[in-house]
A and B are shown apart, each in its own frame.
Chain A
Amino acid sequence: MKTLAVLEQRDGALRKVSFEVVTAAGRLGGGGGGGAVDAVVCSSAGIEGCATAIAERAKSGGYGAVVFAATATGKDLAPRVAAKLGVGVATDVTDLSVDGDTVIATRPVYAGKAMLKVRVLGKPAVISVRPSVFMPPPDAKASQVKPESLSVASPGRVVVREIKAAPAGTLDVAEAQVIISGGRGLKDPANFKVLEELARAFGGKAAVGASRAVVDAGWRAHADQVGQTGKTVSPSLYIAVGISGAIQHLAGMRTSKVIVAINKDKDAPIFKVADYGVVGDLFEIVPKLTEEIRKLHG
């Protein structure tokens, strides 16, 4: 199936998730019928202009599928493009295959409490893929991905004026390979520094997340919230600290590859989804863990 991969860039560089979009698109290409993957990127601040340019490219290229990343940008852009193509989007897809000339997509629904498998009959199939799921093979070279830069005729009525970047060095939870999340067990917002130190020990690939309880209490920003009304994440390592594991929280992190729970209550539900649990006082356990991780990365 001939597939169009819509990539993302910021500050002139392709974002990591773009390589995942190419990987997912390649999965469709592998289904037979000549599997070329074309990649495009639109860097205009005019959101409507980009949607029009992508839709026109999708129409003229005769694609069987158009693949986006299910990021804030992709979730905004994909339905605009899909509507212009007369179809809906299969959003936040975690598994993809091709059956004949149709795409079969699996996606989490009901906050990850169920998986919905659908046959996408729309032509083209428009899909957005969940970040950190379709990982490129280790030998893939970023330099091999050379997207065509789409030009925009008119920016349209919705234009990005500026991006207020998070402070340098802060990694978004949706993009981190390692997430250390804190909940009520931290007892005080100032105590999150214990988690921030652990995150730093991972040398730039870890972010600090938060449960809904501490976000609602105003201890942490909503951008850091993991769960049903926050972000859904799939890092390679998720460390839940002082989080009991309410169903809304589990919804946001249960697809993490490895889950570690640190909690003083041995009966906390978080231990039911954790691969490894440590019971006890987080203020003793986390600093010790930070010291051990520093040694490894030292």
Chain B
Amino acid sequence: MKIAVCIKRVPDSETRVKISADGKSIDEAGVKFIMNPYDEFAVEEALRRKEKAGTGEVTVFCLGPAAAQETIRTALATGADRGVLLQVDKPPTDPFEAAKLIAAELKAGGTWDLILFGRMAIDDYNTQVGTLVAELLGLPCVTAVSHLDIDGTKGVAEREIEGGIEVVDFSLPAVLTTDKGLNEPRYPALKGIMAAKKKPLEVKPVQPGGGAFEVVALTPPPERKEGRIVGEGAGAVGELVRLLREEAKVL
């Protein structure tokens, strides 16, 4: 199986976000970057599909700054075969611009049996680049996949929706975006980390278009007003209920 996995370098979920002086982006000083957690499921699924098929190649694509080579190496260390960095100074604000660059590169790479993305990135929360790429390539797409069966060119995927699970039939080749629950991502072993250093990683500088999203401001979330401790133990419940009724008016 020839599989493409598209990953993103994002700030660690534990990061305290500091807004930079321009008021439009985050201050990256001291921020630890990781592979987007949802992309770990995509990498793992690609490796499992290749292992199951007994043959094939897993190529990892990343649109990001030079430092994202490290993110690609992480994927190579878990078993991916080669990496391509579409290098930009800064990923575009408009996800459609990101999708155009990734789609063009995938198209140049020929045909893929599967193209995998994480269902969303935990920095910009755009939740769409995989779908946009599928549309640009004219491929079927299933999003937020938490269970997957593939038999030849027929696939069945499950995705969580509000109040249930949607079971979706689709045909391959396809673009899938992966959700938590699909698999349990492996950790890179020392041997894999050493091997990853020798695997091919191509760096291609690309130039994103201006896009249709103009950042007006990035601001801290509205502060919640100071709360209070109502009391201790079951004895405080009466007062809590009174406050919820009379002050907060939610009961």
Contacts and interface: CB of A to CB of B under 8 A. Distances in A.
A47 B168 contact: yes
B113 interface: no
A182 B202 CA distance: 46
A83 B136 contact: yes
Interface residues of A, number: 89
21 contacts: A72-B144, A72-B162, A88-B212, A89-B128, A91-B128, A104-B216, A115-B219, A116-B215, A117-B217, A118-B213, A158-B170, A163-B161, A165-B163, A172-B162, A222-B181, A223-B160, A229-B37, A255-B221, A257-B250, A273-B224, A273-B227
Contacts of B159: 72, 76
Given A79-B135, A110-B26, A115-B218, A289 B251 contact: no
Interface of B: 11, 13-17, 19, 26, 37-38, 93-97, 99, 122-128, 131-132, 135-136, 140-144, 146, 156, 159-171, 174, 180-181, 211-222, 224-225, 227-234, 236-238, 240-241, 243-245, 248, 250-251
> Which 6 A/B pairs are nearest by Cβ-Cβ distance?
A83-B135, A79-B128, A88-B96, A122-B212, A79-B131, A280-B233
A271 B170 contact: no
Contacts of A29: none
Given A80-B141, A111-B122, A158-B168, A278 B162 contact: no
Given A83-B136, A84-B135, A279-B232, A274 B128 contact: no
Main secondary structure of the interface of B (DSSP, over half): mixed
Nearest to A257: B250
A202 to B, nearest CB: 9
A170 B163 contact: yes
A163 B96 CA distance: 30
Interface stretch (A20-28, A56-64, A141-149, A258-266): A258-266
B132 A79 contact: yes
Contacts of A280: 232-234, 236
B229 A120 contact: no
Given A157-B170, A259-B224, A285-B234, 18 more contacts: A47-B168, A75-B127, A75-B144, A79-B135, A82-B128, A109-B125, A113-B221, A117-B215, A118-B215, A121-B214, A122-B213, A158-B140, A163-B167, A229-B13, A230-B180, A258-B248, A277-B228, A279-B231
A43 interface: no
Given A273-B224, A277-B230, A258 B163 contact: no
A46 B190 CA distance: 46
Main secondary structure of the interface of A (DSSP, over half): mixed
A31 B131 CA distance: 31
B214 A293 contact: no
Contacts of B131: 76, 79-80, 83
B161 A71 contact: yes
A255 B223 CA distance: 10
Contact of A87 (B16, B96, B123, B141): B96
A290 to B, nearest CB: 9
A222 B146 contact: yes
B95 A88 contact: yes
Given A75-B127, A110-B123, A279 B229 contact: yes
A129 B248 CA distance: 25
Nearest to B171: A157
A185 B26 CA distance: 34
Contacts of B212: 87-88, 120-122
Contacts of B143: 75-76
Interface string A189-220: 00000000000000000000000000000000
Contacts of A255: 221
